[in-house]
Amino acid sequence: MPGMAIPLLVLVAATPAPAVPPPPLPLVVGHRGARARFPENTLPAVRHALEAGAGGVEVDARVSADDVLVVAHDATLPSDRCRTFDGHRVPPGLAIRGLAFEALRRFDCGAVADPRFPLQRPVPGTPIPSLGEVLDLLGAPEPAAARQATFFLELKHEEGKPALSPPRDPYARLVVDLLRRRGALGRTLVLSFDHALLRAVRSLEPSLGTVALVDRDEDLVALARREGVSWVGPRHTRVTADSVAALHAAGVKVFAWTANSPRDQDRLAALGVDAVGTDDPARLLARWARKGTP
């Protein structure tokens, strides 16, 4: 109408909220080297993980009768996977702690493929390696990823069973002394379900990063604070968005083990864990390279 002011309607477009970038991809850690492709805890398995470009490689440590650190998961030689070099089956119950290193070298633990891993290739003539031999691989000029890879060293221990494990303090001393001699302290994380053993390691070398492994439901932040660790390592199925957020807020990193399905791996990446253990690092790295950041 004449003389009447007409209100001016101004439509203001809503400014979209900035997109939140996804978290960076976790470090891919080859579990027991790369046991989906080669016999676990052997030099071929470790070499495969490094050649695939894994950012980390994990192996298990035990101690021989003459106090040599060797790479093996079980307290006894696995009779289903190890043979004598003339082809005889290893008798069950043969404790690694009960044999000197040179005696352990008489067994071929690469001759038989693990039927749980269809792609695993046997490598006949492969003895149990010493931990020093694995460190040699990590220090080699080739593959290029070897010198950059983080070493995840899990200490296996049975307290109160001297036939299977040495006491914690001398065990920790063997580990710390070897890592010092080889100049590997700065690239190594020491893992264990035996948190008292981790304390013994840190008492000898406070700069050494330690990872408290856990496979039960508990307050992971309280665990990290109580044990004084810089990392916590829960089974991947126990990792939640809340636990990752709480640990990161406390300055603690998260190593999730051992995820082999794409769905589980992508879930962990989306949650922002810092490292993921997998039996087939080459497959995971190739899939993430094709897919991009989950």
- The pLDDT tens digits for 122-173 are 999 999 999 999 999 999 988 888 889 999 999 999 999 999 999 999 999 9
**Tokens describing residue 97:** 């702690």
Strands 83-84, 69-71: parallel, antiparallel or unpaired by DSSP? unpaired
**What pLDDT is attached to residue 39?**
98
Instruction: Name the CATH code of domain 28-291 (choices 1.10.1200.10, 3.20.20.190, 3.90.1200.10, 3.30.930.10).
Output: 3.20.20.190
**What pLDDT is attached to residue 93?**
93
Report d(CA 191, CA 176) in Å as an integer.
13
Q: Which residues partner with 209 through β-bridges?
A: 189
**What pLDDT is attached to residue 294?**
45
Report d(CA 174, CA 199) in Å as an integer.
14
**What pLDDT is attached to residue 144?**
84
**What pLDDT is attached to residue 142?**
87
Scan for tokens 């864990």, then name that residue: 273
Report d(CA 204, CA 209) in Å as an integer.
12
Q: What residue type is 178 in one-letter code?
A: L
**What pLDDT is attached to residue 11?**
47
Report d(CA 29, CA 23) in Å as an integer.
18
CA 144, distance to chain mean position in Å, is 20
Q: What residue type is 163 in one-letter code?
A: A
Q: Judge if pTM exceeds 0.85.
A: yes
Report d(CA 280, CA 266) in Å as an integer.
15
CA–CA–CA angle 281, 289, 211 (5° rounding)? 40
3-state secondary structure 153-210: EEECCCCCCCCCCCCHHHHHHHHHHHHHHCCCHHHEEEEECCHHHHHHHHHHCCCCEE
Cβ–Cβ under 8 Å, residues 224 and 212? yes
Phi-psi region of 41 (alpha: psi -120 to 50; beta: other; left: phi over 0): left
Cβ–Cβ under 8 Å, residues 44 and 52? no
**What pLDDT is attached to residue 143?**
86
Beta-carbon count within 10 A of 205 CB: 17
Strands 209-214, 231-234: parallel, antiparallel or unpaired by DSSP? parallel
Report d(CA 183, CA 181) in Å as an integer.
6
Residues of the chain below pLDDT 50: 1, 6, 8-12, 294
